Amino acid sequence: MPKLDKNIAQVGDATLEGGPISFPQDYANWKRKCLSLKGGAIGVLKGNLYSAVREHAIDVRPASDNDGTTGSYLELAKLNSIMVSRKNGIFFEQDYEDFEAIEADIRDLLDHPTLNPQNIMFSIPSKYNKKTGAYPKGVAMEPIYGHYLDDYFKTKHKDDLQGRTYNSTWSNKEQNTATPPIYQALVGGELVPMGLLEVLEKAQEELENREFKLTIDTAKPAKYLMGVPDFKSSVGKAISSSRVGDEVSVSKVMSKLINRDFKSNTDAKTKKLLARYAGRKNIAGDFVSFRITLTPAKTRKIIKDYYDNTGTGTKRRTLTKSWRDMLVV
């Protein structure tokens, strides 16, 4: 998935140019990294880090019906589905809400006393032979948290590790301290520089601050755009400065409006209005400006829409074609 410094997508009856976002590439990098870390590299006999995260419980909120055994699988499936289906770089408000919910699930997991990967508990003997791992009968057992492959396991199974590597930071005798691979996949660390939590935080920040420019290609009535002050004002000025006697030159109006960016209001009404041209509702981000692809016919319609909207009428303002208009038509 390429880095989207600026992406242009044909949507509905318009061309949508979105501001830069990098979280899709960050997610792709995260997934690729987790898939590449497998077997011995994460201290297991088989499987990769992505599948380990997928099979670890995430959704543990009190309001959830999930029993804490399948949440991560479902959440990662949803997240991956969103990323795969948004290759054109256009994300929606529902996507933002899903990212927010998954982030909250991860934070809930990290606050959970037992589901936090740092606090997965294993028991080891409090005393054992440092060369063989043997320990006397009846010795007290003590908890260790994080990853099972600790000093004791390495000593006891030194001849049967089968390529499994070990990092002393992966386990600890204290809770909320170890940094096993699954924890690093979620939060970040030496194995996974950017964790999934950071990717989700970045996704929300970039979508919240994202801006779009819209180029309207449709021949649909422009009367809806008269509700945008900058557009209405610009049309009025173009008409006023393009009069030839009692008539208005279509070509002059067109030359003053074509390739011009009109400022968009950021209110919900204007966003909804522009979204109808884009053929997409609830796009995540703000439409900061738009322009219209013009022809003489479209320009005449815009002039008429302006008169209808302002109540000035057209009887005293006969619209004329210049020789250029006639040739174009």
**Predicted confidence band of residue 280 (pLDDT cuts 50, 70, 90):** confident
Query: Where do the domains of the chain lie?
Result: 20-111+188-208, 119-172, 211-328
Question: Given this model, what pLDDT does residue 227 score?
Answer: 84
pTM of the predicted model as reported, rounded to 2 decimal places: 0.81
Question: What pLDDT is attached to residue 156?
Answer: 92
pLDDT tens digit sequence for 81-114: 999 999 888 999 999 999 999 999 899 889 988 8
3-state SS of the chain is CCCECCEEEEECCEEEEECCECHHHHHHHHHHHHHHCEHHHHCCCCCEHHHHHHHCCCCCCCCCCCCCCCHHHHHHHHHHHHHHHCCCCCCEHHHHHHHHHHHHHHHHHHHCCCCCHHHCEEEEECCCCCCCCCCCCCCCEEEEEECCCCHHHHHHCCCCCCCCCCCHHHEECCCCCCCCHHHHHHHCCCCCCCCHHHHHHHHHHHHHCCEEEEEECCCCCHHHHHHCHHHHHHHHHHHHCCEECCEEEHHHHHHHHCCCCEECCCCHHHHHHHHHHHCCCCECCEEEEEEECCCHHHHHHHHHHHHHHHCCCCCCCCEECCHHHHHHC
Comparing 9-18, 19-28, 55-64, 102-111, the range with the smallest average pLDDT is 55-64
Over 80: is that where the pLDDT of 287 sits?
Answer: yes
* pLDDT for res 277: 79
